[in-house]
Structure 1
């Protein structure tokens, strides 16, 4: 059995790309999302290529489901060597249009779920004295743009929590990292949002999920004498 990696928020673009990147390095990959059956084609694809892959259903906002997910993997698949938290929750809306219910849901997805994932990963890894916990951030982790108040609030809070976790876990030989994706990622949603999408894509102006995913593997495999806490990623032509 190879080393086991869990991607929470294994969506169709970034999350799936991260699963493929680790599988291609012969890690055992586990993906979790609310509708776990949506992972079946990817799991079959990876298994068909001789890789070890598993899909799970989990609402990462629910403490009991997250605890059960970790227990299932640790008991039936193997000890987790790396956990990636990749839930986005990017829902543009003005403050005036943001209901308390929407604000709370975005916070639950981006912040509270990140806390649950980080806590459970830390609990199992501290027993063994090694591992990596990697969180996906966004431009909103660093600054709040107009129309993204709830998202920026949640992502900024996640980043601060991850900093705290990194300072707690580093002395215990557990690498905690935060990846700031400061650009549009090539997804179906972005394809419909950007009027110049085709031109940007042809010119490497949007983030390729497979290229992005290589950074997660690199962060996990970094030697501990040169750990990165925060990595910001953007295409060569992106303004920042």
Structure 2
């Protein structure tokens, strides 16, 4: 089992949104890790303030995970704060277009967000981990990681590629002490955007037929602290009302 982290250990959250990413960051901060929260744009000051108000520590960094130089700079900055013990790749990219309306630009952008960015982040962050012989890299997947559906050609293509990347990295890096895992989020997540997109379904499934970000975050923390003798590669998270 991973030793209890010192205050200088770092959890890097790439794709630190207000719902799932924020909950994961708060959960790891509660255990004493310094959180480095990254996304391409948007105000991250409240994100940091919430963690600090709860007694944790955090640093916000704007970074484009699709750009190689930007990712290298992000990882270097995080390592200056302390050793990256855990990295969570939480970039989404969920869009829905009929195949005839899916432009080349849309498909390429979704693939860059879901798969190419994951490759860049994963490659850079595991280099210092493998030198230390320990670390956790968690990739957020979706139902689309396993199956395509009407209107989701771009999203499913990107998420399938993400899963393949995670599998390859887990097999290569596990023997070196780096735990790579892929988490399939199957269901609606409790956040404002989901409620706006699926109002009827959202209301019908409340209160506990919707994935709560804090409950998702708990699963991520448990994956991070698993003993090496029983590592999980893939975990499915879905509410009890979800059909699958």
TM-score by length of 1: 0.96
Structure 2 residue corresponding to 1:32, chosen from 35, 38, 44 = 38
1:26-175 to 2 correspondence within 5 Å? 26-35=32-41, 38-75=43-80, 77-175=81-179
What is the rounded CA distance, in whole Å, between the counterparts of 1:68 and 1:214 in structure 2? 29
Change (3 A) 1:90 1:113: same
What is the rounded CA distance, in whole Å, between the counterparts of 1:196 and 1:145 in structure 2? 18
Total equivalences in the alignment: 237
Partner of 1:201: 206
Structure 2 residue corresponding to 1:4, chosen from 10, 19, 39 = 10
8 Å CA contact retained: 2:141, 2:163: yes
Report the CA distance between 1:21 and its aligned residue.
0.8
Structure 2: runs of 5+ lacking an equivalent:
1-6
8 Å CA contact retained: 2:9, 2:33: yes
Report the CA distance between 1:44 and its aligned residue.
1.1
What is the rounded CA distance, in whole Å, between the counterparts of 2:182 and 2:27 in structure 1? 18
8 Å CA contact retained: 2:188, 2:202: no
Structure 1: runs of 5+ lacking an equivalent:
none
Partner of 1:226: 230
8 Å CA contact retained: 2:8, 2:83: no
1:11-26 to 2 correspondence within 5 Å? 11-26=17-32
What is the rounded CA distance, in whole Å, between the counterparts of 2:83 and 2:69 in structure 1? 19
What is the rounded CA distance, in whole Å, between the counterparts of 1:79 and 1:125 in structure 2? 8
1:17-61: per-residue Cα shift (whole Å, max 9, x none)? Answer: 1001111122111110012x5211120121122211111100100
RMSD over aligned CA atoms reads 1.0
Report the CA distance between 1:85 and its aligned residue.
0.3
Q: Secondary structure at the match of 2:95?
A: coil
Q: Secondary structure at the match of 1:6?
A: strand
Report the CA distance between 1:80 and its aligned residue.
0.3
- Comparing 165-174 with 39-48, which one deviates more in the overlay? 39-48
Structure 1 moving runs of 4+ over 3 Å: none
8 Å CA contact retained: 2:27, 2:221: yes
